[in-house]
Structure 1
Amino acid sequence: MTAEPLAEPGCRWPVPPRDGYTVDDLYTLPDLPPHTELIDGSLVFVSPQRYFHSTMLDLLMAGLRRTVPKDMKVVREMTILLDRRNGPEPDISVVRAEAVTGGEQACFQAADVLLAVEVVSPDSEARDRDTKPRKYAAAGIPHFWLVETGGADRHPVVRVYELDPVTKAYDLTGTRRELLKLGAPYDIDTDITSEALDAF
């Protein structure tokens, strides 16, 4: 029995190298879809966003930018170079302002990232909850947030993690369901209720 071809006629997928892709390939392979990530040398294509994901990103971006100090910047969906075989794209990152080099910039080094935020999507649940946090922690990113919905009314939930410098793993420091009020990586105070999300 012959297997059916997976791609449409005329569509050519890149053949991966024997040892997998590197971060350089993210910028040299032609016609990669927007927001392609590199995880353990494999290309990961991102599915279209759902409404919760998009709106939650907008709400968090507005809240983070409202109080961000001048020595930091809040950026959305930009590649973070963790090592030669890993270039994930957090939904939101807080980076050192000095690391911003200009409008053509396409990535940041892990050492310049102070916070990585992932909003869980059904297609990326395992990566967002397990793979990416482990890699962010190993790369030394000091803060991580995992954002998803909870409860019967599917309200926003933000789980806040801080890096333990000894174990190089994240420790849960709190779960926020209504008010995201934190002192690190800087003073943050923003409403994350369902009402705030609906009004955004």
Structure 2
Amino acid sequence: MTAESVEQPRWPMPPTDGYTVDDLFTLPDLPRHTELIDGSLILVSPQRWFHFTAIDLLVSGLRSTIPSHFKVAREMTIVLDQRNGPEPDISLIKAEARRGPLQTRFDADEVVMAVEVVSPESESRDRHTKPHKYAAAGIRHFWLVDMVSPDSHPVIQVYELAETTGTYALTGIHHDRIKVDVPYPIDIDLTAIDKL
């Protein structure tokens, strides 16, 4: 087999002004979980076991006490504006935002909380770019989830949107258990990740 015979994917040339959210949903053959940040398509690397199990643990914990006016979504695009469509690992949305089984996105004003589990390949986006954009879009709550050695348990930094600055303010760091009252009463044993 020669190098010429290996079929390579053909990606379209990016527009001069960058891609838009409309492109994100209409370009053919984009890989799963492609995100749009500042008009650029971001292709996501395969996830690690910690990433997968941390998301499962939190989704299950969030759903266990969720009030009826909220829903939990995992890995769904949030349309922040025409040039930004990130895909948080977990989103807490208003119940009326769920419109049906073929839905592929939510608007920023339908999202109450975004959760990012830090991955090595997306660390800068998870820690800096996305929180800044979520805050600017008015998403009131943000959780940043890290893996801490040696036990590989999640540690969660909890942020809330400050009205006066329009940026996130750290309200707590949770190691073995996250117990908070906003956006609703939540109590999750983070050490339970060992059982998943």
**Structure-2-length-normalised TM-score:** 0.95
Which of 172, 185, 188 is 1:187 aligned to?
A: 185
DSSP-derived class of the 1:126 partner: helix
Amino-acid identity (%): 62
Which of 73, 90, 93 is 1:92 aligned to?
A: 90
Shift of 1:43: 0.1
Give the paired residue count.
Answer: 192
Give the corresponding residue for 1:199.
Answer: 195
Give the corresponding residue for 2:137.
Answer: 139
User: Is the aligned partner of 1:33 residue 2:66?
Assistant: no
Give the corresponding residue for 2:147.
Answer: 149
Distance 2:149 2:52 in 1: 20
Give the corresponding residue for 1:167.
Answer: 165
Shift of 1:179: 1.0
DSSP-derived class of the 1:60 partner: helix
Shift of 1:9: 4.0
State the Cα deviation string for residues 34-92 of structure 1 (Å, max 9, x = none): 00000000000000010000000000010000011101000000000000000000000
Shift of 1:148: 0.6
State the Cα deviation string for residues 84-115 of structure 1 (Å, max 9, x = none): 00000000000000111100110000001000
Give the corresponding residue for 1:61.
Answer: 59
Distance 1:46 1:11 in 2: 16
Residue identity in the other structure for 2:120? P
Q: Which aligned runs of 4 or more in structure 1 are off by greater than 4 angstroms?
A: none
Residue identity in the other structure for 1:33? P
Any gaps of 5 or more consecutive residues in structure 2? none
DSSP-derived class of the 1:94 partner: strand
Shift of 1:10: 4.1
Distance 1:172 1:151 in 2: 22
Residue identity in the other structure for 1:53? H
**Structure-1-length-normalised TM-score:** 0.93
Any gaps of 5 or more consecutive residues in structure 1? none
Give the corresponding residue for 1:112.
Answer: 110
State the Cα deviation string for residues 105-146 of structure 1 (Å, max 9, x = none): 100000010000000000000000000000000000000000
State the Cα deviation string for residues 150-178 of structure 1 (Å, max 9, x = none): 24333210000000012110000000001
Distance 1:142 1:11 in 2: 39
Give the corresponding residue for 2:42.
Answer: 44
Residue identity in the other structure for 2:109? A
